[in-house]
Structure 1
Amino acid sequence: MATAEVAFPSRQRLIGVLARGREPQLAGLGVLLIASSALPLAGPQLLRAFIDHAAQGRSVSFLAGIAAAFLGVSLAHQALSVVVGYVSTHLAWVATNALREEVARHALDLDLSFHDGHSPGELIERTDGDVTALSTFMSSFVVQVAGSALTLLGVLVVVLLEDWRIGLGMFGFVLIAALTLGKFRDFAVPRATVRREASARLFGEIEERLTGADDLRANGGGAYAVRKFQQALAFFIRASIRASMATRTMWVITAAVFAVGGVLSLAAGTLLFQAGAISLGTVYLLFRYTSLVRDPLEQISEQQQIAQEAIAGFARVQQLLDERPTVRDNGTKTLPAGPLSVTLDQVSFAYHSGTNVLHSINLDLQPGKVLGLVGRTGSGKTTLTRLLLRLLDPTEGAVRVGDLDLRNVQLESLRQRVALVTQDVQLFGANVRDNLTLFGAHRADDDRLVELLDDLGLGQWFRALPDGLDTMLGPDGAGVSAGEAQLVAFARVFLRDPGLVVLDEATSRLDPLSEERIERAIDNLLDGRTAIVIAHRLGTLHRADEIVVLDHGRIVEHGPRQALVDTRASRFAGLLATASGQQDSEGVLR
């Protein structure tokens, strides 16, 4: 019961996304389905009239008129089927594209812990592959089954009017067939779900191996990668075989039911004809209507695999939408202009393991000051920056920026006023303009972009581009050096004009020439702004006003940079001495 209550909102949300704003089109599709389902009922009636009138010796011209009417009905049915197919496919793709957007947006809003446990390849398969299964379901299964159900209902009514005995018999057959299909309806769904999961796992495996292709080849890990791929592929093949066998089993069961029903229907019609209760044309009519009953049920059977894939995809999309981020955008306040203060008040944080990685952190950074944050790997530096960007919320205490608790601040305002630059810059397979403005997220005209590139020392690089701001960059910034990519990241920050900047190892992987340009850019970036600089290369902290040393999630030292440098017994001075290889730490920083 609890599970159903949790899943229900997502099911409503899915249906709402699929149907939103498309009610008139869906109503029109319903009318077309009714017309398309009714036309097959007219054909057997015309053929009965043709047979009976031919047996009575009517003229050729009269029979030709009936044949022409039958041909017209058949052509109209085919034309209407094409229209229904087009409209249903169009609606299905429009609706599921909206769902793709909804699912992708929801996935992007989920916590980092969720993304740490799910590879990009898996999420791509869940966002696109599972939704595609729903699209196929809507455009094929729903239309065919809905149309078949309407035709089936029409056949039962007409046959009941023709002969109540055969009508009741046909109704009984349909009831037995429906119960059989209902009993085995979910027989193959678990196997189809496993197949969808195996597909997602395979895509995730491919994505991960392709991402690490250079390291794998350089370190002789190719055989391992191939073996892991083969294991994922083998699991997918086994899951596909089991799902296919389940579908085949369903087909055999339903085919047996149809065969028995067809024999009984033909026998009943023959007996009534021999008794003189019905005409020869009516025998054909009943036989044809029996075929019309059989056809919808066979279509339902043949569409089982699509239904199974769709149900599995529906469940997985619903499961993804059921995931809830712990960081909610419930704030109503906006951060003030200018440099921002930073206050950490008894801040602790623990991941899902329950073990604190930050312990009762207290920190007060005044506006316009630069704080250097140092500590060994695993000391909590990255977690602290994620709290400042509200990618995480503290499990205890409060994080305040600009004297506002971040939980009360709109995320849009936070993302605009707090900026992060890391050593791993993400460039996209798009033009330079879109890479600078992040596809229009940061508004600026072309003149401003060119001016900014000149100010950052990228003027020569920019003027060598063949198409200027319209020059396309390769995927992941192919063709752009690490230094140039880092300066592009700084340009993005300048366009936002934040009040707080967090630099996380921004110069750690650069050559001396690139680092010199980055250092000049950092000086400009930090002018008039509050900054937190994380650095393993301690010599880059010469611009810091204060230093915080973290160790196992605790602040073990905090003070003015120069005072800590001058205090030989301080932890910071010890770290400098170690890092400089016994060189004079003061000489390094002064």
Structure 2
Amino acid sequence: MTHSPTPPSATLADGASAPPASLWRLIRSAQPSLGLLALACVATLVAVAGTLYFPVLTRQFVDELGSAGLRARAVAELAGVLLGSTAAGALAGWLVARVGHAMVATLRLGLIDKLLRLPVAAFDRESSGEQVSRVVSDCESISELVTRQMINMLSGVLLLVGSMVVLLLLDVQLTLTLLGCVAGAFAVVIPVAFLLDGLSRRIQNETARLGGLLTQVLSEIRLVKAYTAERRERERGRTHVEGIRRLGLRVAGINVALEPLMGLATSVAIVVILVVGTARVSRGEISIGTLTAFILYIFNIANPLVQLTQFTAGWQKAKGASSRIGAIMAEADEETRAGTAEVPALAALEFRDVTFGYPGRDAPVLHAVDLHFPPGTTTALVGASGNGKTTVLSLIERFYAPTEGDILYGGTSISGFPLAAWRSRIGYVAQTAPIMPGTVRDNITYGLSGVYSDDRVRAAAEQAGALSFIERMPEGLDTVLLEQGNNLSGGQRQRIAIARMFLRNPEILILDEATSALDSETEHQVRIALESLMQGRTNIVVAHRLSTVMHADRIYFLEDGRISGMGRHEELVAMHPPYARLVARQFRQGPELAALDGIATEAPIRTLRQVNS
């Protein structure tokens, strides 16, 4: 049976534009409330109508002011139209904000769900900080376009069209004069506005890279400080910050140029209309009220031009965001329901002629590997770093699929089992024993279904040798753990992970360098807990410390992605020179002493010292 790694989805380059269809698909997936948007459109129409009607009322008010004097009814009409238009505009803004926040929440939840469904291979191609930026920033850009920018464009177009219609009805000659000024403004503004194309997208990409860098640096802040690498990381951050600053200045320069241009165009239009209009008023061709209305309509035309320019920038920004989100959404999910076979109880796990290479790498990591893990036994994987031990564990967990060959459990390919059912049979204790945000209880029961009483959690903690230090904590099981478990020691983190395994009760237990980072005393305590945990399970142990694997039922020695030796400790010492050299190097003795029975004790170093004496 042959598997092929899922190829990475094609992503668009920084400067590429996403097709509008991709953007609309994301918008539909966000499920904006059509009812609220329709109500916002109605409120916008009311606000636009009031804005258009206000200069007409002003014209009548000014014309009547000279002959009939100040009338309370006219003042009330002006105030009513102005307040009504303002209130309608405010209502439209509130409705749009409500729709926008709902869209952002829906998009973010959908993207978070998608990220959690992706296979591990998808996270090898982009940093976590960049993916966080997709959730935080890019979703906001799409919502901003669909809600506020769309409504602004609608109101802007209606104001432009409505104003031109009313102006033509008032006076054709003055309208043509105004159109000449507007056309001149358009001729300058539109080319400048198009310079925004791509700049916002590049800013988003650079911001995502900065987020990725900061996520990595801050999560490993102890390493940074231990190696006095603050200056190096500051310079790396400065590179991205400087890139964002330069791009931001270019955008700001364009916006700064647009605003004075629009102001200049508006001022020129006002002056021209005043000059031409005053001449026509003096000749009795139009009234002073008509001229006043024209002056007011100039602002009704200038503001929409600014709104349309902002919409263009928002459109480009949302297209860039949709291309990145769309690339994530296009990734293939983990095949959680690919198989329907029932996982057998405590069966043999086998690798048959398994070859595997990571996507994007030329050479395979594993070459035609055959492994056998009998049920209820302990098997160790030994070899220098980079020879494929961790890859074997990843294939067992189905983080990746073999390029060639197959992995069987009870004679059935593990790809034939539902993913959740298969992984529920596996317990994984890693070297770092990661701690998730939450309390001690949350971490012991992490990922487990069902409700666990305090007695069961305490019993698991006691089996793992963790109850004593948990009870000394301020809140016991309810003590909140810091990021990455920084208020725990390495041994405490390991014992919490082991307590989780006692509750999980897996059939296959994987120990990946589970004690390599511990001091001798802590290692002894953790090993006692592990020995209890390993009883009655199929145990797969990866370790560089040979003292932890000497009693394994079988040891596989990996070299260059191949199995170069297999057997018990004594057999490999006698028959496999690379393993014998590794034993000798670790215990600092000759290979002939490594072959002694005394080396296979629980305290090999002490035994060798006794032999020397």
TM-score strictly above 0.5: yes
Give the aligned CA root-mean-square deviation in angstroms.
Answer: 3.3
Structure 2 counterpart of 1:339, from 346, 369, 385: 346
- Identify if the C-alpha distance between structure 1 residues 332 and 457 changes in structure 2 by more than 3 Å, giving closer, same or farther: same
Q: Which amino acid counterpart does residue 466 of structure 1 have in structure 2?
A: P
Deviations 1:203-232 (A, max 9, x none): 333333333433333333333333333333
Q: Distance in 2 between matches of 1:485 and 1:12?
A: 47
Q: Which amino acid counterpart does residue 36 of structure 1 have in structure 2?
A: A
In structure 2, what is the equivalent of residue 73 of structure 1?
A: 81
- Identify if the C-alpha distance between structure 1 residues 469 and 151 changes in structure 2 by more than 3 Å, giving closer, same or farther: farther
Specify the SS of the correspondent of 1:94: helix
Say if 1:370 and 1:545, in contact at 8 Å, map to a contact too: yes
| Alignment gaps of 5+ in structure 2 | 1-9, 602-613
Say if 2:566 and 2:572, in contact at 8 Å, map to a contact too: no
In structure 2, what is the equivalent of residue 444 of structure 1?
A: 452
Deviations 1:91-135 (A, max 9, x none): 212211222222333334445455345333333333213333444
Say if 1:372 and 1:532, in contact at 8 Å, map to a contact too: yes
Q: Which amino acid counterpart does residue 31 of structure 2 have in structure 1?
A: A
- Identify if the C-alpha distance between structure 1 residues 145 and 7 changes in structure 2 by more than 3 Å, giving closer, same or farther: closer
Structure-2-length-normalised TM-score: 0.85
Deviations 1:481-528 (A, max 9, x none): 111111111222333333322211011112233323322332333333
Say if 2:340 and 2:418, in contact at 8 Å, map to a contact too: yes
- Identify if the C-alpha distance between structure 1 residues 158 and 430 changes in structure 2 by more than 3 Å, giving closer, same or farther: same
Deviations 1:138-176 (A, max 9, x none): 554333333222333332333344445656666777677
In structure 2, what is the equivalent of residue 546 of structure 1?
A: 554
Structure 1 counterpart of 2:113, from 87, 97, 105: 105
Q: Which amino acid counterpart does residue 11 of structure 1 have in structure 2?
A: L
Structure 2 counterpart of 1:295, from 285, 295, 303: 303
For CA contacts below 8 A with separation 6 or more, give which structure has more relative contact order: 2
Q: Distance in 1 between matches of 2:417 and 2:264?
A: 65
- Between stretches 511-520 and 164-173, larger displacement belongs to 164-173
Specify the SS of the correspondent of 1:547: strand
- Identify if the C-alpha distance between structure 1 residues 32 and 564 changes in structure 2 by more than 3 Å, giving closer, same or farther: farther
Q: Distance in 2 between matches of 1:244 and 1:31?
A: 34
Q: Distance in 2 between matches of 1:42 and 1:203?
A: 49
* 1:349 correspondence with 2:361: no
In structure 2, what is the equivalent of residue 152 of structure 1?
A: 160
Say if 2:379 and 2:554, in contact at 8 Å, map to a contact too: yes
Mapping 1:451-470, distance limit 5 Å: 451-470=459-478
In structure 2, what is the equivalent of residue 524 of structure 1?
A: 532
In structure 1, what is the equivalent of residue 31 of structure 2?
A: 19
Shift of 1:377: 0.8
* 1:428 correspondence with 2:439: no
Q: Which amino acid counterpart does residue 350 of structure 1 have in structure 2?
A: G
Q: Distance in 2 between matches of 1:232 and 1:251?
A: 28
Structure 1 counterpart of 2:515, from 507, 511, 520: 507
Structure 2 counterpart of 1:214, from 219, 222, 246: 222
Q: Distance in 1 between matches of 2:194 and 2:323?
A: 13
- Between stretches 209-218 and 449-458, larger displacement belongs to 209-218
Structure-1-length-normalised TM-score: 0.88
Say if 2:22 and 2:322, in contact at 8 Å, map to a contact too: no
In structure 1, what is the equivalent of residue 501 of structure 2?
A: 493
In structure 1, what is the equivalent of residue 586 of structure 2?
A: 579
Q: Which amino acid counterpart does residue 92 of structure 1 have in structure 2?
A: G
Q: Distance in 1 between matches of 2:120 and 2:111?
A: 16
Q: Distance in 1 between matches of 2:84 and 2:405?
A: 71
Q: Which amino acid counterpart does residue 564 of structure 1 have in structure 2?
A: E
Q: Which amino acid counterpart does residue 32 of structure 1 have in structure 2?
A: A
Q: Distance in 1 between matches of 2:369 and 2:484?
A: 37
Structure 1 counterpart of 2:484, from 466, 476, 479: 476
Q: Distance in 2 between matches of 1:6 and 1:151?
A: 30
* 1:29 correspondence with 2:43: no
Structure 1 counterpart of 2:244, from 226, 236, 250: 236
- Identify if the C-alpha distance between structure 1 residues 364 and 178 changes in structure 2 by more than 3 Å, giving closer, same or farther: farther
- Identify if the C-alpha distance between structure 1 residues 421 and 279 changes in structure 2 by more than 3 Å, giving closer, same or farther: same
Say if 2:266 and 2:302, in contact at 8 Å, map to a contact too: yes
- Identify if the C-alpha distance between structure 1 residues 553 and 337 changes in structure 2 by more than 3 Å, giving closer, same or farther: same
- Between stretches 548-557 and 261-270, larger displacement belongs to 261-270
In structure 2, what is the equivalent of residue 364 of structure 1?
A: 372
Say if 1:340 and 1:529, in contact at 8 Å, map to a contact too: no
Say if 2:382 and 2:557, in contact at 8 Å, map to a contact too: yes
| Percent identity between the two aligned chains | 27
Say if 2:192 and 2:254, in contact at 8 Å, map to a contact too: no
In structure 2, what is the equivalent of residue 43 of structure 1?
A: 54
| Alignment gaps of 5+ in structure 1 | none
Q: Distance in 2 between matches of 1:148 and 1:360?
A: 66
Q: Which amino acid counterpart does residue 583 of structure 2 have in structure 1?
A: L
* 1:534 correspondence with 2:542: yes
Say if 2:18 and 2:323, in contact at 8 Å, map to a contact too: no
In structure 2, what is the equivalent of residue 381 of structure 1?
A: 389
Shift of 1:480: 1.1
Q: Distance in 2 between matches of 1:276 and 1:445?
A: 92
Q: Distance in 1 between matches of 2:50 and 2:510?
A: 69
Q: Distance in 2 between matches of 1:390 and 1:265?
A: 74
Q: Distance in 2 between matches of 1:126 and 1:188?
A: 21
Q: Distance in 1 between matches of 2:52 and 2:517?
A: 75
- Identify if the C-alpha distance between structure 1 residues 8 and 238 changes in structure 2 by more than 3 Å, giving closer, same or farther: closer
- Identify if the C-alpha distance between structure 1 residues 99 and 197 changes in structure 2 by more than 3 Å, giving closer, same or farther: same
* 1:391 correspondence with 2:399: yes
Specify the SS of the correspondent of 1:188: coil
Specify the SS of the correspondent of 2:401: coil
Shift of 1:272: 5.3
Say if 1:358 and 1:553, in contact at 8 Å, map to a contact too: yes
Q: Distance in 2 between matches of 1:301 and 1:309?
A: 13
Q: Distance in 2 between matches of 1:186 and 1:579?
A: 67
Q: Which amino acid counterpart does residue 28 of structure 1 have in structure 2?
A: L
Say if 1:189 and 1:312, in contact at 8 Å, map to a contact too: no
Q: Distance in 2 between matches of 1:481 and 1:381?
A: 26
In structure 2, what is the equivalent of residue 197 of structure 1?
A: 205
Deviations 1:302-358 (A, max 9, x none): 666655554444444334444x25854451425525324322222111221221111
